[in-house]
Structure 1
């Protein structure tokens, strides 16, 4: 039995990055031997075990063969005869196909260290094209390591293009796709994820609504970058720079989908794109079974982001309707995330990345003014039921009028 540290832990150590999760591969062992040493089995499709003390994952060396469509369409074979090199060749990228023993002696049969130095994301073998999930994974790695200068090797991008042109991407489950998408959006350069998917043709398969934004012009007075797709990428980049949560980043990606529906003869204006985009946002949310908090914020930002930009111009009644739409009195955090998304949208314009966004404080102040309306005096006046609700609304409207006059 020989045990090796493999994959990301080796890659990140060589890059000088913090190592968080450690995966281990065990060569020359049987399931019975692992159980005898106290390892706990957790693998359903192939033998994976948890270490009795550390809880880390140890997998028996295995080979795999394509037997069906999609991410799960593989037959695995694990036995003591499978070599370390045979196990490593089934991995996606050369930089993930290295192993080291307990003395940090490196096993690198597919030149991962060389590709680390060349800053290349390169596939290990032609079998890369058998797993459609790898299209998303490579795009995610590109987003993670873009700041270090990594790019996708041309021949790997070509295999990703072939996968995108086949029907393999459609075999991905919503859950697996969302796991990769959500992780990619939380990387330092999430816009690179979208760029790589677009470069290999996967974006128009997975998210045609986002792909349709590229080449659609906007008024240069408001959008110096002009192209709606380029603007979307810049907004996403700003969300990462400002360390926004996943909910905000997802909303930033989808906020302008309605502009992809504007007839060419109406360009560069996009009348009512906010409402037109809602059906597209719903479609993308449903396609990937997106968590509810992300779904809700994306829809609200899509519908109301231009309200955020025109905050100072809104009538008190419109301001109150906006606050009520967000249920700001019970869910203040969601409104705060809306404000953040609006600010990222404003900053995601060429040359305006550092421009202040006074609308943010104005909207926060409006929410505070409405929230500070006391309910107890109205109860003491005898209001109850629907009448109480109307009385609260009148008082909040009054408070917002005063706020607007003073602001």
Structure 2
């Protein structure tokens, strides 16, 4: 029995099976590469689902976490710490947030959405509008905003007052927003929905409609934020300013952290002392990791690098001229390669055998969310392998 088989058997005996059987047992990584327990190497083009912003074993992140672990790992929120204050200041600065904006730290994207739901309730209204195809998490409040029926139906009834409208449809959004609306919650790019971008016009319409109705515009930047699209946050590319945004994933580079960011003093004052909290939220270790991520993105010029790598990937994929590849969508290094048939799962399985970690986000789309430090040569390994992977996948369906 291989080390992988042994550990997967132990996994199935000891862990809840909410994720099914894992595909690999990974042991260590370096940059965009990871190795499993049997010594096989893989190019990680999923990055922990847009989490490992600096890749694996980045010296700046390792040094920051190691240093902080030797100083102070946790204090209760009766107190604060230097990394917590510094990271909040840094997020507000890169977001271009106005005076009076604020940050609430938690531990995950779903927790950030839960905080946003409570913020919305402080308007005195209960209606929340989300989009068809949206994914905002699996905790009970966040799940009400998530659209996929298979996730929602086993746990209904969920939080009342949530309405889902067709994605990208300004007229539908306009018809839904009204005096009962507390918030409109949107992803600038729907990640789990298949890497489906909004348009700047759609987000601007959402901004205008919520302002007119006295509702909040909450942008879920959990997957798109922290440089993933080639800007610090995707809303900056659309030229809108939300009332609040949620962050997680890439913010800690792999260390669990989430955040709700409120824009301006009026919104920031809506949650007061005792109205929300988190035991581990904003702990010094996670905040030190977040600072290392933001500092490294800036010092290594990774925003420009992400834009360049995204353009390179798009040009290479379209340059294949393969009729089985219908396009590539997304922004920066959050991309989906779209296919002419339901071959994504088979492409990912054969890719894994060839040393590539890919995500079949839908039957006809392969999601790529590699570390922001990925190189053009590494992306080319995927593009060059894709026709052969499609040969294997399409052969299986004949």
Q: Could you tell me the TM-score, scaled by structure 1's length?
A: 0.22
The structure with more helix, counted as a fraction of residues: 1
Relative contact order, higher structure (CA 8 A, sep 6+)? 2
The structure with more strand, counted as a fraction of residues: 2
Q: Could you tell me the TM-score, scaled by structure 2's length?
A: 0.23
